[in-house]
Every structure is written in structure tokens, then in C-alpha cells.
Amino acid sequence: MTSTYSYNELADLTVKILTKLYGYSQKEAEITALVLVEADARGIPSHGVSRLDFYSSNLKGGFCKPGSKPEIVHETPCSLVVDGHDGVGPYISKWAVEKMLAKADGALAAFCSVRNSNHFGIAGYWAEQAALRGMVGLAFTNTRACGIPTYGRERLIGTNPIAAAIPEKYENGKISDMFLLDIATTTVAHGKIEVYDRRKKTMPNGWAVDETGKGTTDATAFEKLFYSNPRLGGHLFLGGEGEESGGHKGYGLGLLVELLCSGLSLGAGSMDTFKAGCGGGITHFFACFSLALFGRPQEIMAHIHSILQTIRNSEKAEGESRIFIHGEKEAEAKERALKNGVELDAATRDMLEKLKAKL
């Protein structure tokens, strides 16, 4: 059974929970609630308000410290390195991305690495902020160690998502459509396995392996292993085990994200995040550049639109009526959520109602 909340109702409730029960400031709570509710509205429950449980455990463990102020520790006219001092991930990210975008207004391109942060929500939201201003946006983050290197058995690398946003249409004074890719470099984000565990469903083969390195479809057993054994068993990268189906490629993408985020910021690698007494340690990397670097922006967007239209209008596989461009399903899900409400599964609803009762 699912329950439905209006977008604003869910956002307001989440802000109240974060401020009154979690000790977030109003600004920290508002941006955190926004990225969580955006995920649920876009049909990404793995990163929605169900994350409140994870955020609570981070507070209890001393990994997240509301009230910590981000600080610029290195800066050039087109770049900055930010130390989040173990603060609230979405708040740090908003602060850093806004400063990066301001630099790009003058330099036409800008870059930002962040260390000592926490979970920042869906990566696509941060890449999207650049695209809404007519720029190409990139957003990456490492995570707690979840992924196993090709031919390895230890969890060493995060699910390490990649997000890229490219504006497609400019109408009525604003960007109306965009290509928005947001993917984990593992087969799925860890939150998706948590959803399967929460709903007591069997997960597909190829998502994860147990402590022996063998594939498992038991989401509940995997979750128990994940939290009881700090090293063995974990996620497979895109392409699965070995090299035959390209597992080494997904592993390479995950490692690339690790080096951009942790390497450039001088921050913790995924294997060193969430250690007692050391804060969350999560690292991010953001980048943006203007289409004006390559010509007239509206002409470029029109050309991008024509490429995407060719793909949309191409021949469909038997039984299929539509080819989707990345970001379309999420945008359409949000439209439905704004009209009909945001659907939450029973476990997430029950968690929210318990928190609501504490208020």
C-alpha cells in the first residue's frame, strides 16, 4: 500500500522534522527537504525522504554536524576548493554550487571540489542548476564504500554517481527542456537495495555479491551483511562481474569519480568515510561551462534538440511505443506528483508518521 502527500505538505513536514528533531537550521532544513522531496517526486524513492533514517544515524554517529559552516580553502578566478567541516551535505553543496556558478558568470567555466561533506541527495539536482542557467553542468560524489573493484572482494569504492545536464530548449525566457543523466557507477545505488529490503522483495541478480564474492538476490541478507561486515560483500559496478560484460568499465567510471572528488579536494576516499571521530568525510566535484564558449547558445541548443529529436523519433523495438531521453521520465513523474501528490511506500509512510508524532 502506498500513501500520497502533496509536494508542499511533504516538504513542510520534512523541514519540521529536520529543525525540531534533528537540530538543523532553517536554511539547512529547507534545502535538505527540497532535494529529498524532489527525489520522491521524480520517482527516485531510494534518495527521497526515506533517507531521514540514514541522516538520523549520521547525527547519532557524529558524522554530520548541523551548524558547521563551509569554508573556501583554495581559490582561483574559475575554481574553488571547499571544506564542509562535516556539515549538512545539501547545504554545503548549495553554498558551493552557487559560488561556482557566480564564477562562471564571468569566466564562462568554473570548477569546485568539496571535502568533509555528507550525503547531498540526487546528483542530478546539482548538475541541473547549471543547465537552468544555460550552461552544461556536471556533478559527482563519492559515497561510503559499497563497490567491489573488478577481480576484488573488498568494498573500497562508493556507488559514485555521475550526473550531467545539457540544456536543450530555451522558451519564454527560461530553459524548458534538458538532457539530464544521473547514474550510479555501480549497477544500482545502495538506496535501491534498501528499498527492496524495506519492501521485502527479491533483488535482481547482478546487483551485489556476498562475502564469498558470489552473486546474491536476497536484499535483506545483503543489508545485514553490509552493516555487520565492514569489508566483504558489496555492489557490482556497471557491467557486472569480471570483464566479459564490461564490469571493468563501470569500475573505471567509479574510480574516475573517486579521483575527481577525493583526489582533487584532498579529501577522504570512500574506504575512509564514516569513521568514528572523523566525520562523514564525503567529497564532491562540480563543474559548469557556458555554451557561449562554442558559439551562439540558442543555435547550439537548437542543434542539440535536433539530435535528441532524431533519437526520439527513431524506430521503436517491437512492443515499445517510446524511446526516452535521460531525464524525461523524472520530469514527467514530477509533473504528475505536483498534480496528484507524491506517493510513498508503506514503510516510508510509517517512518514519517512516527517522526510526525514526536513533533
| Residue 262 DSSP code | I
The average pLDDT across 105-125 equals 98
CA torsion angle for 35, 41, 46, 47 (degrees, to 10)? 0
Q: Domains in the chain and their CATH numbers?
A: 1-60+328-359 (1.10.1530.10), 66-184+251-313 (3.30.1370.60)
Angle at alpha carbon of residue 351, lines to 42 and 196, rounded to 5°: 60
pLDDT of the residue at 267? 98
In single-letter form, the type of residue at position 344 comes to L
| Tens of pLDDT, residues 74-96 | 999 999 999 999 999 999 999 99
| C-alpha cell read off for 248 | 571493468
Cβ-contact 39, 47 below 8 angstroms: yes
Rounded alpha-carbon distances, angstroms, from residue 174 to 137, 168, 298, 308, 317: 16, 11, 11, 19, 34
Give me the chain's average pLDDT, please. Answer: 95
Q: Is the pLDDT of residue 192 over 90?
A: no
Angle at alpha carbon of residue 129, lines to 190 and 255, rounded to 5°: 40
Nearest to 277 by CA among 67, 113, 65, 83: 65
| Residue 50 DSSP code | G
Residues in Cβ contact with 107 at an 8 Å cutoff, skipping those fewer than 6 apart: 77, 78
Residues in Cβ contact with 252 at an 8 Å cutoff, skipping those fewer than 6 apart: none
Q: Is the pLDDT of residue 222 over 80?
A: yes
pLDDT band at 339 (very low <50, low <70, confident <90, very high): very high
Lowest mean pLDDT among 173-182, 211-220, 334-343: 211-220
| Tens of pLDDT, residues 155-181 | 999 999 999 999 999 998 899 999 999
Q: At what angle do helices 26-41 and 328-340 cross, to 10 degrees?
A: 110
| Residue 157 DSSP code | B
pLDDT of the residue at 190? 85
